[in-house]
Structure 1
Amino acid sequence: MMLLDVRNLTVKLNSPNLTINAIDKMSLSMREGSIHGLVGETGSGKSLFAKALIGTLSDKWTVQADRMFWQGEDLLKLKPQKRRQIINRDMAMIFQEPSRSLDPTATIGEQINEVIPKSEFTGGIFSRHQERLKIAKNLLIKVGIKDYQKCYESYPHELSEGLCQKVMIAMALVRSPKLLIADEPTDAMESTTKIQIMRLLQKLNTQKNMSVLLITHDLEAVINYAEEMTILYSGQSAESGPVRDLLKRPYHPYTQNLFKSIPKFNTDTRPKSRLETLPGSTPPLQHLPIGCRLGPRCPRAQKECVVTPKSIKLKGHKFSCHHPINLE
């Protein structure tokens, strides 16, 4: 069953002098119980997409889409109150730099207790304290924190980034969400901690049937844990499809270049040689190219690329390119 289906999402930044399409006609689909990777360079609009989805953008942003279906219901056509109810019930999000997302003046136990909904309590008002304590400690155990009592009584600055991220995941699990949005969940962490967090997300996906939208620039993590992926470049969807199929036969030049930048997936790379990269860098919002935004950096760019390419579906892939590769 299709859990999330977003078509032609556009997020506009409104300023007194001009309007900028920070995200331009992006599409993304997720099946129920899947792990979907959203990959892109820093500044490509990955986090902006997540915030548009859960409705946390400020008034200076305008969100438009042909459709934003959540389990067959278009969120954009609902009243704001009804949309917030669905998002609060079915979605949760964890952020990068978890220690900054937690309140430094309150203990971990106090912060977990704040997010426990009243529906979780079965006893009277006088037994609430013990119930909160039991629920909070069960959540900490569920996310793999062995010394849960010490963690419960600690402040965020007394814990490592890895433990803080596990606490954030525990708080997200309070309402048993159907979709967990993980925004750079392992950013700036040690390799062993990264593996622990990713395995925890995979465990929650398999045991709880919880879908995970993994937002990251770590392409290797997506390849190891996700089933499908969407590649975003400067606010435009470049290519999407099953991870194994994209690895085997990408159709978009940008996808191919991303894979070649990782020695593990580029068998032609010789020891101590330079990695293959595209010239230039991601354009800033103030100077976005017209048409295909990869055009100024793309080795296959031609005059047709000044027109925004349409999305093409072929053999399970969706890509947007005037001059795709590997079609022969």
Structure 2
Amino acid sequence: MPLLDIRNLTIELDTPHGRVKALERVSLTLNPGEIHGLVGESGSGRTLLAKAILGIPGHNWTVQADRMMWDGQNLMEMSARQRRALMGCEMAMIFQDPMSSLDPAISVGAQLIEAMPENKTISWWKRAADKRINAQQWLHKVGIKNTQKVMSSYAWELSDGECQKVMIAIAVANKPRLLIADEPTNSMELRTQAQIFRLLSKLNQLQNVSILLISHELETLSQWCDRLSVMYSGQIMESGPTADVIAQPYHPYTKALLDNIPDYSNAEHHKTMMHTLPGSAPALQHLPIGCRLGPRCPQAQKHCVNQPSLCHQKDRYFACHFPYHNEPCHDEPLTKS
């Protein structure tokens, strides 16, 4: 049974320009112990999807879904209190903006200790000291050297990179079953990025933590993820095993992302122009009719004015009328089963 199963999730936002669909018919399945990559450019709706999973919607959101299940439980039927309890112990998220996520009036150490579970196997009068030692160990694991100084500091006294490492320590210290990492290595040097990804991989392998890894860097996700989903303008364009998606992309947008990865094998390639799609992603209040990639797609034809359904072939999903390396698919969209 999947740990997380979402079918046809739609999120509408009330804006000064009227109601717009920020996410439309998004489907996502995450199995226990899986690292699932979610790739897309800024504004594609990746963070909205993560917040919908956690149950922290905005005041102007309208959320609808055919199915939104967590380990056999219906998230749509849970109360706000049940969702908060679930988020506190079984789900955790590394937010993209650490400075606004940490409390500026409470020391970093106090926030980290508050998020850690109590070790009830030791005497109660030793638990405070045990938590503090464990907190310093987690800070050391995410790449912070002077742990005592950081523990006594406030968020506004630290750099963006240090705050990001603190956020990662807070998220993983509780050992959740699902960890949502939204650009977890923002504002970090390359050596620290590799250290963070190794830590996440170790949590996945040793403690069976499922990870939803959100990034705009397809090259990075291809190295760490078991499965990959590609988002564009609030919709899933393609999904499947990472190796299959990288080796043989079906959707033109996936192919464009792969063509945009630098080729380091040839010394002369760094001087050549990179392949890019014409135009830019549409604004939510001016979405195109039919396929949202249509105005920019090199494969676009007249039939693309009709919105493509999410087709399922073997272990691959894609939403395109004229996919690469495949026959045209006109299946019905995924519905509630």
TM-score normalized by the length of structure 2? 0.88
Unmatched segments (≥5 aa) in structure 1: none
**1:115 Cα offset (Å):** 2.5
Flag the 1:16–1:188 CA change in 2: closer, same or farther, 3 A: closer
Classify the secondary structure of the residue corresponding to 1:263: coil
- Residues in 1 aligned to 2:141 and 2:265: alpha-carbon distance in whole angstroms: 38
Classify the secondary structure of the residue corresponding to 2:263: helix
**1:40 Cα offset (Å):** 0.3
Flag the 1:16–1:283 CA change in 2: closer, same or farther, 3 A: closer
Pair 1:47-2:58 in alignment? no
Q: Which residue of 2 aligns with 1:195?
A: 194
**1:17 Cα offset (Å):** 5.9
Q: Note the alpha carbon deviations across 1:200-234, whole angstroms, 9 max, x for none.
A: 21122112211111111011110111111100000
Matched pairs, number: 326
Q: Which residue of 2 aligns with 1:232?
A: 231
- Residues in 2 aligned to 1:205 and 1:128: alpha-carbon distance in whole angstroms: 27
- Residues in 2 aligned to 1:261 and 1:142: alpha-carbon distance in whole angstroms: 33
**1:265 Cα offset (Å):** 8.8
Q: How does 1:50-199 map to 2 (within 5 A)?
A: 50-117=50-117, 122-124=122-124, 127=126, 129-199=128-198
- Residues in 2 aligned to 1:146 and 1:271: alpha-carbon distance in whole angstroms: 36
Classify the secondary structure of the residue corresponding to 2:324: coil
- Name the Cα RMSD after superposition: 2.4
Q: Which residue of 2 aligns with 1:273?
A: 272
- Residues in 1 aligned to 2:121 and 2:156: alpha-carbon distance in whole angstroms: 30
Q: Tell me the percent identity.
A: 49
Q: Note the alpha carbon deviations across 1:247-273, whole angstroms, 9 max, x for none.
A: 111111111111001123998x94522
Q: Which residue of 2 aligns with 1:209?
A: 208
User: What amino acid maps onto 2:163 in structure 1?
Assistant: C
**1:128 Cα offset (Å):** 5.2
**1:122 Cα offset (Å):** 4.9
- Residues in 1 aligned to 2:167 and 2:121: alpha-carbon distance in whole angstroms: 21
Q: Which residue of 2 aligns with 1:31?
A: 31
Q: Which residue of 2 aligns with 1:253?
A: 252
Q: Note the alpha carbon deviations across 1:100-134, whole angstroms, 9 max, x for none.
A: 4223343221221232356758534x555434423
Classify the secondary structure of the residue corresponding to 2:3: strand
Flag the 1:128–1:208 CA change in 2: closer, same or farther, 3 A: closer
- Residues in 1 aligned to 2:17 and 2:108: alpha-carbon distance in whole angstroms: 44
Cα pair 1:14 1:60 within 8 Å, conserved: yes
Classify the secondary structure of the residue corresponding to 1:22: strand
Which stretches of structure 1, 4 residues or more, deviate above 6 A after TM superposition? none
- Residues in 2 aligned to 1:35 and 1:290: alpha-carbon distance in whole angstroms: 34
Unmatched segments (≥5 aa) in structure 2: 328-337
Q: Which residue of 1 aligns with 2:333?
A: none
- Residues in 1 aligned to 2:21 and 2:134: alpha-carbon distance in whole angstroms: 44
- Residues in 1 aligned to 2:171 and 2:262: alpha-carbon distance in whole angstroms: 35
Q: Which residue of 1 aligns with 2:334?
A: none
User: What amino acid maps onto 1:258 in structure 2?
Assistant: L
Cα pair 2:9 2:66 within 8 Å, conserved: yes
Classify the secondary structure of the residue corresponding to 2:271: coil
User: After alignment, is 310-319 or 149-158 more displaced?
Assistant: 149-158
Q: Note the alpha carbon deviations across 1:180-217, whole angstroms, 9 max, x for none.
A: 10111122332222222222211221122111111110
- Residues in 2 aligned to 1:178 and 1:265: alpha-carbon distance in whole angstroms: 37
Q: Which residue of 1 aligns with 2:290?
A: 291
User: What amino acid maps onto 1:294 in structure 2?
Assistant: L
Flag the 1:195–1:78 CA change in 2: closer, same or farther, 3 A: same
Q: Which residue of 2 aligns with 1:321?
A: 320
User: After alignment, is 173-182 or 150-159 more displaced?
Assistant: 150-159
User: What amino acid maps onto 1:237 in structure 2?
Assistant: I
User: What amino acid maps onto 2:150 in structure 1?
Assistant: C
Cα pair 1:39 1:231 within 8 Å, conserved: yes
- Residues in 2 aligned to 1:70 and 1:192: alpha-carbon distance in whole angstroms: 35
Classify the secondary structure of the residue corresponding to 1:264: coil
- Residues in 2 aligned to 1:265 and 1:308: alpha-carbon distance in whole angstroms: 37
TM-score normalized by the length of structure 1? 0.90
Cα pair 1:162 1:193 within 8 Å, conserved: no
Q: Which residue of 2 aligns with 1:22?
A: 22
**1:95 Cα offset (Å):** 1.3
User: What amino acid maps onto 1:14 in structure 2?
Assistant: D
- Residues in 2 aligned to 1:315 and 1:266: alpha-carbon distance in whole angstroms: 33
